[in-house]
Each structure stands twice: as structure tokens, then as C-alpha cells.
Amino acid sequence: MIQTLIFLSAPITACVLLAGMLSYFGNHILTRGIIFIDISLAQIAALGTMLGLLLGYTEGSSSVEIISLLFTIVVITLFALTKREKQTIPQEAIIGIIYALGLGLAMLLAEKIPGGSNYITKTISGNILWVTWKQVLSSLLIFIPISVIHMIFQKQFIAISESKRKLPFSISHVRKFEMLFYMTFSIVVVRAVMIGGIFFVFVLLIAPTAIATLFHSAWRLRFIWSWSIGLAGTIVGIYLSYQFNISNGPAIVCLLGGLVYLMTFVKMAPHRQSVK
């Protein structure tokens, strides 16, 4: 039992960090209604990583991460600059095109990399069980300044996220804050994908926040509850995958995804009874 806890200590600590950061951004993404922005960014990050491998850099190296981050920042810059008070093309359509383009290019690059198809599978499913303490520490050092930035500009970010039609500031100010928001979001996504994989990042960003939103409307409460739910779900998923020798990424996805539907029915149950 002690050996198991020692082995799982690094993955669990990583889950504490990732659940917190992704739950925070998940509240913004869900409020904005651009649900698939993270999976699009994650796919672009994976594309950048594959390009780094094609150039001869080793997997998990700082060079590969920098290339991946540059790819993501370029794409998210274009996305932020498309922000308009009256959108001609919905941003959801732009997100879908980004994802399709990233996946298509990644599949083409996979044909040129030895074991490329296996790498695509690994990127999608991930394997957080093998995260190292070095990765955990470097992630903490990256997440601290990002957290400070978002504490300083918290009101501005929330105002933009809650704006539906009329922008809260001038378009130039909105774009500046959007650039800052999405650049920091990109950094978190790139790091999270390298640790947990695309599906892990997507479900941890959306599922806990969706559950918390069912019961709370205040930002602080939604963040606390989504962080707690995400952390609990990932720890249970990791433990089950370790005990039953199954993939941890899909286990966490199924666990948190199923929990969303379960809690939705729980939320609806009292309403059904009152209607009767």
C-alpha cells in the first residue's frame, strides 16, 4: 500500500495542479459557450509536438514544448483577433476548422515519423501515471505567474466572458485582454496535454465545471466545486486504472463524463417530483 502511494504521489500532485488550472479556465470557456476551444488548441499543440519530432528533437524535450507552444500561440492569436461585436462567422465555426486542420496536418506528419500513428494514439489518450516530479515542479513554476496574472485582471476577464452581445470595453481593449487570456490558456493547455493527453484535458476542463454549474451560479463557488470534482474524479480514475491495469485517460474520461449525466438526473429529480 505504501509503495502504491509513493508511486501515485507524483500523478496525484499533478492532478491537483491540473484540476485547479483547468477548472478555472473551464468556467470561462463554459460561460463563453466555446466548448471545443480547448480540444482544438490541444490538437494544435500535438501538431507542434509532431513537427518537433520530425525535426529530430526528442519527445518531452524543452525544444519540442517550445515549438508546440509557438504553434498554439499563433493559432490563438488569430482566434482572438477575430473577436467582433457582431460576428459574421461564429467563433464556434472557426474552432471547428482549427481542430479539423490540426488533426489533418497531424495525420499527414504521422506518415513521415516512425511510429507516428502510435504517437497520435498516445497524445489522445495520454498516460498521467508516468508523470515525473520534474514535470510537476516545472508545471507549478509555470502555473504560479499565470495565476497571478488572472488574479490581477480577474474582473476584466469575467466581464468579457459574461458579455453575450455587447462588449464591456472598446474592441481594442477587449482584444488586448483576449490575447492575454488566450495566451495564458494556451500555455496551460500545452503543458496539460504533455502530461495527460487531449481527452484528459478536454474532460477535466468541461465536465467538472458543467457539474458545478448545475448547482451554483457564483464564480467562486463554481471554481471551488469544479476543482474538487475534477480532483476527486482524476484520483479515482488513476486508482482504478492502476488497480485494474487499464488506460488511465479513458478511465478518467468515462468516470467524469458519466458523472455529468448522473448529476444532471439528480438535479432534475426534485423538479420532476414538484411538477407531479
- pLDDT number for residue 83: 61
Sign of the torsion angle spanned by Cα atoms 73, 169, 164, 222 = positive
| Residue 204 belongs to some domain of the structure | yes
Please tell me the pTM assigned to this model.
0.84
pLDDT digits (tens, 9 = 90+) for 9-53: 899 999 999 999 999 999 999 998 887 787 788 888 888 888 888
* Banded model confidence at residue 276, pLDDT cuts 50, 70, 90: very low
* Banded model confidence at residue 153, pLDDT cuts 50, 70, 90: very high
| Residue 276 belongs to some domain of the structure | no
- pLDDT number for residue 40: 83
Q: Domain holding 248: CATH number?
A: 1.10.3470.10
pLDDT digits (tens, 9 = 90+) for 187-241: 998 889 888 888 888 899 999 999 999 988 899 999 999 999 999 999 998 888 8
The yes-or-no verdict on residue 1 having pLDDT over 70 is no
The yes-or-no verdict on residue 271 having pLDDT over 70 is no
Check if the beta carbon of residue 135 is closer than 8 Å to that of residue 14: yes
Check if the beta carbon of residue 82 is closer than 8 Å to that of residue 22: no
**Structural domain containing residue 197:** 2-264
Rounded CA-CA distance 261/146 in Å is 32
- pLDDT number for residue 268: 78
| Residue 230 belongs to some domain of the structure | yes
Q: How many domains does the chain have?
A: 1
| Residue 177 belongs to some domain of the structure | yes
Rounded CA-CA distance 20/227 in Å is 5
| Residue 270 belongs to some domain of the structure | no
pLDDT digits (tens, 9 = 90+) for 253-265: 899 989 998 988 8
- pLDDT number for residue 210: 92
Mean pLDDT taken over the chain = 84
